[in-house]
Structure 1
Amino acid sequence: MDLTLRPFQDEDRAILAGWFGDEAALIQWGGPDMRFPLDEMQLRAMQAGAEEEPPRRLLWTGLRAGRVAAHGQVFLDWRHGVARLARIAVDPACRGEGLAVPFLDMLILGVWARPEFFRIELNVYTFNTAAIRAYRRLGFAEEGVRRSAVAVGSDRWDVAHYALLPAERPGVEETRPGAG
């Protein structure tokens, strides 16, 4: 599959903003603090975290045949060596084409390339079965569910917490800097 990873760029903002057609879709992607519609101010605030030293988060774009096809963010807890995958999205026009797992794998390998990080975690709404299948395929283990954790309109959504350690991915631990 022709999929490459590059840092999120200013010109990606308008593309990403067009992927979420309603409040529920935006909250499913970005969490309960997002405001619909996704706008320039919210996107610039996300990017600002990547410009700090050290960065609080990294924003990535997945390109397929040179076209923006996926987006993901990694929040970095430098003190505890924990990275959190967040705000993962595949272009609606590309969904169902098998992009999620290779895109996520690139993000994961990027985290493991940094010896400071020993754990990757994520939250996912329990109804998002496609995402959960992808996370499990990559080796993530469910660690718990926060029931009725988020209000979206009159609905309440459960949030599952997943995590992955380097030793749980064959071949990762021995390739990490400082391993051995």
Structure 2
Amino acid sequence: MQLETFARHHIADMLDWFPTAEGLTQWGGPGLRFPLDETQLDEMQASTFGDAPARWMFAGIVDGNLAGHAQVALDWENGIGRLSRVAINPRFRGQGLAHPFLQQVIDHVFADARFERLELNVYTFNTAAIRTYLKLGFIEEGVRRSSAKVGTIRWDTAIYGMLRSDLAAEREA
């Protein structure tokens, strides 16, 4: 998988990735409107410009096709990136692409010496994602119980983190 900056021409390829409101919420959080549309992705992408953008957006490309998407919200003052909105194109799932894609995203974040920490939130029922995050070296730091209301149910959110020193220690081992 090749890592690229997510671009406007990738938007149309993502619009059918989340066929349910729950699936969209699982990916993007409770603040998104179902169905996902170009306007919402345009708004996200608008925050990627400037000297200190609010986020980076990544595309994972396989054979010229959009196979993955991830975002990192950027806290420049504190040197923290928050990995979010990670998804593998449904047509590419089950091929083991999440790990190499996210490893490239992690490497990109820590290539910038201003970032000391990368963190993420994941709903606790998303065991496949959690397995991937653990294999990448993230450490569970806690659970925010009943943190998201989705329809009439509530979801718990686990918090995972990785420090620059964690990544260095893992690579030395």
Q: TM-score of the superposition, structure 1-length normalised?
A: 0.92
> What SS does the corresponding residue of 2:125 show, helix, strand or coil?
coil
1:27 aligns with 2:40: no
Q: TM-score of the superposition, structure 2-length normalised?
A: 0.96
> What SS does the corresponding residue of 1:149 show, helix, strand or coil?
strand
Counterpart-to-counterpart distance in 2, 1:134 and 1:122: 12
Partner amino acid for 1:145?
A: V
Aligned to 1:42: 40
Give the CA deviation at 1:170.
3.9
Counterpart-to-counterpart distance in 2, 1:8 and 1:83: 17
Give the CA deviation at 1:52.
3.0
Among 38, 63, 68, which residue is 1:70 paired with? 68
CA contact (8 A) 1:32 1:150 kept: yes
Counterpart-to-counterpart distance in 2, 1:172 and 1:112: 14
Among 29, 52, 55, which residue is 1:54 paired with? 52
Among 148, 151, 154, which residue is 1:150 paired with? 148
User: 1:1-180 maps to which residues of 2 (within 5 A)?
Assistant: 3-170=1-168
Give the CA deviation at 1:10.
0.9
CA contact (8 A) 1:6 1:61 kept: yes
Q: Cα deviation per residue 1:154-173 (whole Å; 9 max; x = unaligned)?
A: 11100000000122124688
Q: Percent identity?
A: 49
> What SS does the corresponding residue of 2:102 show, helix, strand or coil?
helix
Give the CA deviation at 1:53.
2.5
CA contact (8 A) 1:142 1:163 kept: yes
Aligned pairs, how many?
172
Q: Cα deviation per residue 1:53-72 (whole Å; 9 max; x = unaligned)?
A: 31110111000111110000
